[in-house]
Chains A and B, each alone.
Chain A
Amino acid sequence: MLVQGITGREGSFHTKQMLDYGTRIVAGVTPGKGGTEVYGIPVYDTVAEALKEHDVDASIIFVPAKFATDAMFEAIDNGISLVVTITEHIPVMDMLRVKRYAKLKGSRIIGPNCPGIIVPEEVNLGIFPPRAFRKGKVGIVSRSGTLTYEIAEIIKRDFGQSTVIGIGGDPIVGTTLDEVVEMFDKDPETEEIVIVGEIGGTMEEKVAKMKKEGKISKKIVAYIAGMTAPKEKRMGHAGAVVYMGMGTFESKIRAFKEAGIPVATTPYDILKLL
């Protein structure tokens, strides 16, 4: 793994956390800090320079919002196939261009504004607090960071998790709910899937449609945050806002019910539905 923005406050702190979890980080990048080290990891000025010395499968970005777009373009241009962007507050028009460019070049982006990916007891490519996770058979995909930790913790004792992916709370995300659900459906380590959705957008409705059409065979259970949110108000996440009636709580619940996906009334009811 490569860490972009490794010398920053968040970058260096989470590099340590990820290393402690067993994640294999081989290099870091911070323009102007090439030649230094962070927890023994060599730092380079550019991604291209880091790749001359190391084999890298994935990059994680902790670069501040103003420069994070450049960091994503740089990773994509250097052929890194998986790019996890933790940074929040990236402008939507930037993300629109990044996502279209990543598709063109064959890179996968997770995030932005997300906690990353964790495979419990193996690899933490993100900012997950380890205490909530235990190796198991449930795949969790979530639009919300803290709610992911909460739900992981709730199912930790009885089920554990295969892989947990936080896709982020922004209007445009590199990887969508339905894409992750499809991957979980094919993943032999995953037996059941938990979706943590929220108001805004229509990603949840898309998953429901796939399930209804028989394209997903594994059991899915869901929770949707924002039942009581007033419309056209942004509820914390930039993506959690309902414009023109698209992506209301009701439309998501209706879609899940029609697809036979049980929906938990509170996050704490997820356990009963699995």
Chain B
Amino acid sequence: MKLYEYEGKEIFKLVGIPVPRGVVTDKPIKWDGKAVVKSQLLEGGRGKKGLVRVTQDVYNTVLELQKLGVSKFLVEEYIPHDREIYLSCLIDREAVEPIIVASPEGGVDVERAKNIRIFHIPIERGVRDFDVLEIEKYLDVKGLKPIIQGLYRIVTEFEAELAEINPLAVTESGLVALDSKVILEDNALFRHQDLLEKLGRSYEKSDSYVELDGDIGIIGNGAGLTMATMDMVKLMGGNPADFLDIGGGAGSDKVEESIIRLAKNPKVKKIVMNVYCGITRCDEVAQGIIKALEKVKIPIYVRIVGTNEEEGRKLLSQRGISVYEDPITCIGDAVRS
């Protein structure tokens, strides 16, 4: 579950990471002095899109940003600072250990940062003073202990996939997290009801829907096969509009729901569906497709093989829906149509 910046900062406060004084609002407010108005969106790159503004006139800045379609804002005191640093915590899959990622170049795209170091902090011992000292020396800054400990707690206790501060401001009076990026792990949310309540969030059942830029809806069963289908559409000259993995063992309701979900995206002009049934059954998938097509009027190209294949194909052919055994022909026809 991706958190908004202000929600991430709520967690920062909880674990003792200093953040600027601020307020969340959905309408223009009065504010004395210089402030930063930050649009609350889940996508990155807000600064580049002009959705984060330093201003003396909070009221009118919010009005302007509202006109751009933003509905929630974090208004914060402006923090003058000398330097910016990057810090994050996540799990290293190879080492099977939490790591702190640090860079003295904050505020930039960390993927392009030249100066970056990883510090392993094994779960059995947690953050120790010598870890902090090493990171402080690398970053040439003091007072990191509560911040490192806080990020580490967010990952190991609140089970975040990622806890990131970019940038962390170095000011005369100490360190302040100017931004937050926290992604909680969906699979562990059931253990963190208190935290969700505090954030005013409810546990949403997550699905694998991902929005893309093109016009072809991509649906499949299994993450790998669905990704491969998306890649093939692109290779064959098409442009995927979105991605959805119906998962293993999906019944007809789940299939129907998934197709309707794809079709809600106005960019979707046609759908490619690639299914290899194992636990899932082709006839169930076919019934789901037929039910969905009563509600949505978008051409769908279905490649379906595996368990109960013949029953599934028959059902679809009777309704005049294109059915393929070969995925390449299926995708080719969809792209050329």
What is the interface of chain A, defined by CB distance below 8 A to chain B? 10, 65-66, 88-94, 96-97, 99-100, 115, 127-129, 131, 142-150, 153, 169, 171-172, 176, 196, 198-199, 201-203, 206, 223, 225-230, 232-240, 243-245, 265-268
- Please name the residue on chain B nearest to A199 by beta carbon: B227
Question: Given A144-B223, A169-B223, are A228 and B96 also a contact pair (CB < 8 Å)?
Answer: no
Tell me the minimal C-beta distance from B151 to chain A in angstroms. 14
**B188 and A91: CB pair below 8 A?**
yes
27 A-B pairs with C-beta separation under 8 A: A90-B187, A93-B185, A100-B124, A127-B278, A129-B306, A144-B225, A145-B222, A145-B278, A149-B278, A201-B94, A202-B94, A225-B231, A227-B234, A227-B235, A229-B227, A232-B44, A235-B227, A235-B245, A236-B223, A236-B243, A238-B186, A240-B223, A244-B88, A244-B101, A245-B110, A265-B235, A267-B228
A153–B162 Cα gap in the complex (Å)? 38
What 7 pairs between A and B have smallest CB-CB spacing? Answer: A144-B224, A236-B223, A146-B222, A147-B224, A245-B111, A236-B245, A91-B188
- Please name the residue on chain A nearest to B191 by beta carbon: A91
A88–B206 Cα gap in the complex (Å)? 13
A147–B163 Cα gap in the complex (Å)? 32
**B276 and A149: CB pair below 8 A?**
yes
- Please name the residue on chain A nearest to B240 by beta carbon: A228
- Please name the residue on chain B nearest to A130 by beta carbon: B278
Tell me the minimal C-beta distance from B194 to chain A in angstroms. 16
A186–B95 Cα gap in the complex (Å)? 25
Question: Given A97-B123, A234-B208, A240-B227, are A146 and B159 also a contact pair (CB < 8 Å)?
Answer: no
Contact among A65, A201, A266 with B93 in the assembled complex (CB-CB below 8 Å): A201
**A236 and B226: CB pair below 8 A?**
yes
A107–B278 Cα gap in the complex (Å)? 29
B62 near A: Cβ within 8 Å?
no
B248 near A: Cβ within 8 Å?
yes
B108 near A: Cβ within 8 Å?
no
**B210 and A142: CB pair below 8 A?**
no
Q: Interface readout for B80-107 with A: 1 if CB under 8 Å, 0 if not?
A: 0000000010110110110001000000
**A128 and B278: CB pair below 8 A?**
yes
Give every chain A residue within 8 A of B23 (Cβ-Cβ).
none
A172–B187 Cα gap in the complex (Å)? 13
**B208 and A266: CB pair below 8 A?**
no
A234–B245 Cα gap in the complex (Å)? 11
Give every chain A residue within 8 A of B277 (Cβ-Cβ).
129
- Residue among B88, B223, B232 having the largest count of chain A Cβ atoms under 10 Å: B223
**A243 and B220: CB pair below 8 A?**
no
Within 8 A of A (CB), among B200-230: 208, 210, 212, 220-228, 230
**A266 and B191: CB pair below 8 A?**
no
**B101 and A235: CB pair below 8 A?**
no
Give every chain B residue within 8 A of A88 (Cβ-Cβ).
248
Question: Given A91-B159, A146-B276, A149-B276, are A239 and B93 also a contact pair (CB < 8 Å)?
Answer: yes
A100–B96 Cα gap in the complex (Å)? 8
**A131 and B223: CB pair below 8 A?**
no
B68 near A: Cβ within 8 Å?
no
Question: Given A149-B276, A235-B243, A243-B162, are A172 and B96 also a contact pair (CB < 8 Å)?
Answer: yes
- Residue among B91, B191, B277 having the largest count of chain A Cβ atoms under 10 Å: B91
Contact among A92, A142, A171 with B224 in the assembled complex (CB-CB below 8 Å): A142
Give every chain A residue within 8 A of B156 (Cβ-Cβ).
93
A79–B159 Cα gap in the complex (Å)? 29
A227–B232 Cα gap in the complex (Å)? 9
- Please name the residue on chain A nearest to B278 by beta carbon: A129
B287 near A: Cβ within 8 Å?
no
Give every chain A residue within 8 A of B77 (Cβ-Cβ).
none
Give every chain A residue within 8 A of B159 (Cβ-Cβ).
91-93
A228–B161 Cα gap in the complex (Å)? 23
Tell me the minimal C-beta distance from B249 to chain A in angstroms. 8
**A92 and B91: CB pair below 8 A?**
yes
Contact among B44, B91, B220 with A171 in the assembled complex (CB-CB below 8 Å): B91
**B208 and A92: CB pair below 8 A?**
no
A89–B206 Cα gap in the complex (Å)? 11
Within 8 A of A (CB), among B108-149: 110-111, 123-124
Give every chain B residue within 8 A of A142 (Cβ-Cβ).
224
Give every chain B residue within 8 A of A233 (Cβ-Cβ).
210
Give every chain A residue within 8 A of B307 (Cβ-Cβ).
129
B298 near A: Cβ within 8 Å?
no
Q: Interface readout for B276-294 with A: 1 if CB under 8 Å, 0 if not?
A: 1111000000000000000
Question: Given A172-B91, A172-B96, are A235 and B208 also a contact pair (CB < 8 Å)?
Answer: yes
